[in-house]
Structure 1
Amino acid sequence: MRTDPIHKLLQDQGCVFQERHGWERPGWFHPEGPAPVLDYDYYGAYGLSKNADYKYNDLLGKEYTFSFPPHHHVIKQECLTCRNAVAVFDMSYFGKFYLVGPDSKKAADWLFSADVNKTLGSTVYTCMLNKRGGAESDLTVSRIEPGSSHSPLAPEFEGDGYYLAIGGGVAQQNWCHIQTVLQNEGLRCQLLDHSDDMGMISIQGPKSRDLLKEVLDADLSNESFPFSTHKLVKAAGHQVRAMRLSFVGELGWELHVPRDSCVPVYQAVMAAGAKYGVCNAGYRAIDSLSIEKGYRHWHADLRPDDTPLEAGLAFTCKLKSSIPFLGREALEAQRKQGLRRRLVCFTVAEKVPMFGLEAVFRNGEPVGHVRRSDFGFAIDKTIAYGYIRNPDGGVVSPDFVRSGEFTLERMGVVYEATAHLKSPFDPENKRVRGIY
């Protein structure tokens, strides 16, 4: 139902897509070239003949396995190219909203768990919470200046303005949450949806700066363009909003691009990246790279019944300030009582696929289940994240995690697992700062 401007370019390069909220987003890239998506045949009903020789459907069908899929090596290549050189991700399905209006600063203070009222040009990773302290969303919020044109990159407004970038699968849920809070609080704000008006191209990896130096008319040094900042710049002659962010744990930038400029900007990026070994990569690679780095996925690692404290995201909460925000009282009460459950990273040395919902045991006792799992190609291990509880009902402290012996049970087979309180990959966050 919804496709972005470079959909056809990617399909011609062998892209196999995933559906999210009506969008087709890249899943992975078939190395043998295009597998056309044929018109829906309704399984031969309504007088239609069933599609024959449907290569695309055959590729999808082979994914349904309890083993590693046949294209496991393809995902590996995309991941390792990102870790060692540079990869390009089409993330155009993201929700792209603007929060503006007379009460926008008041709304931002109340809606977002982090302090997003930094200097203009800042971008902040934050959560939005419900009154129980549960995570309704995680997203990035950028403070922007008013625009003087009708460009979707810089709308006109008075006062404070914020640009929200949100995973497309939950964009509608975020929209509804924000609108409900604005109405409940009587805040005079507008929420503008420009999701269809812009694409989003993410360039990630050790060579991303070298590549983008040839495309952007901007100084990309750490001093001029630090992590978690954004600027309006020209990319191959087209105005874009460049953000220095990463959802894969590498040096990288996101380019937020007006719809009509997406094709030439993408083509310029790929042309400049040829000598750096650039590749297209999809969301199967992002799933692997992000879990390896310990980045959370809303709907899996984070849900409305999980708090940021339990999820290891206390840094997204402005609890050290006096600024009130939705869910603050619940978080303060939880912090005072101590955590009764905690999200923990597990690695399994044996190369076995896991999918989520596997049982977690500590010293032989069941203490939780896996929320999300994937294979980490840089560390060459299966990685799983799950919330664990203390069987005695007590606090789940770091010492409780460190002192236990853990196993994960997959389809009746038990595997030894190592628990980690920090990401097993680049725990010091050097790579996103360009330190290799």
Structure 2
Amino acid sequence: PVLLDQRVFPSSLTESFTADHKPLMGEAPELRGFFLGCGFNSAGMMLGGGCGQELAHWIIHGRPEKDMYGYDIRRFHHSLTDNRLWIRERSHESYAKNYSVVFPHDEPLAGRNMRRDPLHEELLQQGCVFQERHGWERPGWFSPQGPAPILPYDYYGAYEHQPHEDYKYNRLLSNEYTFDFPPHHDIIQKECLSCRDAVAVFDMSYFGKFYLVGPEAKKAADWLFSADVHKHPGDGYYLTVGGAVAQYNWSHITTVLQDKKFNCQLVDCSEDIGMISVQGPESRAVLQEVLETDLSNEAFPFSTNKLVKAAGHLVRAIRLTFVGEMGWELHVPKASCVPVYKAVMKAGAKHGIINAGYRAIDSLSSEKGYRHWHADLRSDDTPLEAGLAFTCKLKSAIPFLGREALEKQRASGLLRRLVCFTVDKKVPMFGLEAIWRNEKVVGHIRKADFGFTINKTIAYGYIQNPEGGPVSLEFVKSGDYALERMGVIYAAQVHVKSPFDPDNKRVKGIY
């Protein structure tokens, strides 16, 4: 027991609350060698021991031993940490909701409209219900009830602020305060099935867009990226990264460039380029009317890109997908985003084109088995455990960051492995559900969603051998599995391949 002198620790202390109610830890992105361990939101006694141990490991080895991404100061974009209004509003809301139940699809009301892409007003008028990620307003889903603008923060009526009355956006959020399927479950279904059956447009402009350029850009790329980039000609690289981790990626890459003394630089163009993704079996027919180039499989194969004209505007078209369909991403200069978007929607009208948001992307990508950062993938996971060995150039002799650790793990065998589960019963799951194998708990779910195409609940989690041995594919396939949600156990089927289009025919344009 520790006795605290009340003269030193008075009963009413001034407490710090951070913008997301989590501590600030790790190396400051503005100053190498300066580490933070603060902002514990009145939970320092509870968190101090473990956080102190991880921070010590972080300082000595350059990274923590455990996954500390949720506490890492790099989770915030510098434009937000430099914004006093954002800090004041979000810190207040994190305090106001200190003891609130955390629902799966909640969004903040504070610190909104800080970063808006060129399509924001256009999509708002079409009923877009926005999500906040990294300060960006990104499309969540589209309501048939029309525009739901996000109003200035009212501090929940505190400090003599007048609370908003009949706040439509807040009302839509409140309807989501459930651990069941949300009331607009059928709207997400429509967006998903329209993408699978026809064509959908996703505004992904919140993504980070960087250029890695300079005399040693290739040398840096070889070291930074696990994949073999030698097949890509040129002296520079265009990188697109999930917008919610743009600052984290930026800090990691620039740190490596500095430590390895590579003669190159990373240029941030995130605010200057929009990103319009057109996906679905009718995407080629739609875009063939908009893009001035041949979109056939032979002329424009999967995972290639071209600089082309779209409705008279120069864009970079990349044949990629994160939903498991034939489709293209259009990387568009900011000033050209609206006219290019309108041209796509006009051409797609006769093909049943619709707008879709990230709630649909979450479901579609889960069906296809695409990995999400900090759900399926964390800093303490490896590509081998996550089923991403194909992204690593281990068959080459090229050294890259982390290669030795992967080779050692491959030689010794995997002690855990990410696997996919489906549940026939239509039950909502959100993550952290227990995984049972042969009546023993072998892990927990990292990510879950409902797959509207296969009409099943989908979940992903890492499993371990309770006996401590390797987790081989035979071990994965030989067990009887169940998932436990709120004390109820549901029979589950395990999959070692994607439960939807495992042969990637649709991605290749084969329907």
TM-score by length of 1: 0.91
SS state of the match for residue 65, structure 1?
Answer: coil
RMSD (CA atoms): 0.7
Q: Which has a greater percent of strand?
A: 1
Deviations 1:98-151, CA, capped at 9 Å, x for gaps? 00011111100000000012133xxxxxxxxxxxxxxxxxxxxxxxx5xxxxxx
1:187 pairs with 2:300? no
Correspondence list, 1:156-171, <5 A:
160-171=235-246
- Residue 45 of structure 1: CA displacement? 2.6
Amino acid at match of 2:393: K
Correspondence list, 1:233-248, <5 A:
233-248=308-323
Match of 1:45? 158
Match of 1:359? 434
SS state of the match for residue 433, structure 1?
Answer: coil
Deviations 1:5-45, CA, capped at 9 Å, x for gaps? 11011010000011100001000000121122222212123
TM-score by length of 2: 0.77
Match of 1:35? 148
1:413 pairs with 2:488? yes
SS state of the match for residue 265, structure 1?
Answer: helix
Amino acid at match of 1:29: F
Match of 1:379? 454
Match of 1:429? 504
Q: How far apart in 2 are the matches of 1:241 and 1:254?
A: 8
Amino acid at match of 2:174: G
Match of 1:59 among 166, 172, 185: 172
SS state of the match for residue 118, structure 1?
Answer: coil
SS state of the match for residue 184, structure 1?
Answer: helix
Match of 1:318? 393
Q: How far apart in 1 are the matches of 2:337 and 2:139?
A: 15
Q: How far apart in 2 are the matches of 1:244 and 1:186?
A: 34
Q: How far apart in 1 are the matches of 2:402 and 2:478?
A: 32
Amino acid at match of 1:161: G
Match of 2:364? 289
Correspondence list, 1:99-138, <5 A:
99-120=212-233
- Residue 63 of structure 1: CA displacement? 1.1
Unpaired segments ≥5 residues, structure 2: 1-113
Q: How far apart in 2 are the matches of 1:311 and 1:36?
A: 39
SS state of the match for residue 432, structure 2?
Answer: coil
1:370 pairs with 2:445? yes
Deviations 1:66-86, CA, capped at 9 Å, x for gaps? 100001000000000000000
Match of 1:266? 341
Q: How far apart in 2 are the matches of 1:422 and 1:202?
A: 25
1:23 pairs with 2:98? no
Match of 1:395 among 440, 446, 470: 470
Match of 1:126? none
SS state of the match for residue 346, structure 2?
Answer: helix
- Residue 46 of structure 1: CA displacement? 3.2
Amino acid at match of 2:340: V
SS state of the match for residue 296, structure 1?
Answer: coil
- Residue 47 of structure 1: CA displacement? 2.7
Match of 1:149? none
Q: How far apart in 1 are the matches of 2:155 and 2:345?
A: 37
Q: How far apart in 1 are the matches of 2:232 and 2:271?
A: 28
1:95 pairs with 2:208? yes
Amino acid at match of 2:391: T
Match of 1:82? 195
Unpaired segments ≥5 residues, structure 1: 121-144, 146-159
Deviations 1:346-369, CA, capped at 9 Å, x for gaps? 000000000000000100001000
SS state of the match for residue 25, structure 1?
Answer: strand
1:174 pairs with 2:249? yes
Q: How far apart in 2 are the matches of 1:214 and 1:360?
A: 48
Correspondence list, 1:298-317, <5 A:
298-317=373-392
Q: How far apart in 1 are the matches of 2:201 and 2:370?
A: 19
Amino acid at match of 1:350: K
SS state of the match for residue 254, structure 2?
Answer: helix
SS state of the match for residue 371, structure 1?
Answer: strand
Q: How far apart in 2 are the matches of 1:181 and 1:39?
A: 39
SS state of the match for residue 416, structure 1?
Answer: strand
Q: How far apart in 2 are the matches of 1:370 and 1:173?
A: 24
Amino acid at match of 1:75: I
Aligned-pair identity in percent equals: 74
Deviations 1:45-75, CA, capped at 9 Å, x for gaps? 3332111111111001111211000010000
- Residue 228 of structure 1: CA displacement? 0.3
Deviations 1:372-398, CA, capped at 9 Å, x for gaps? 000000000000000000001101011
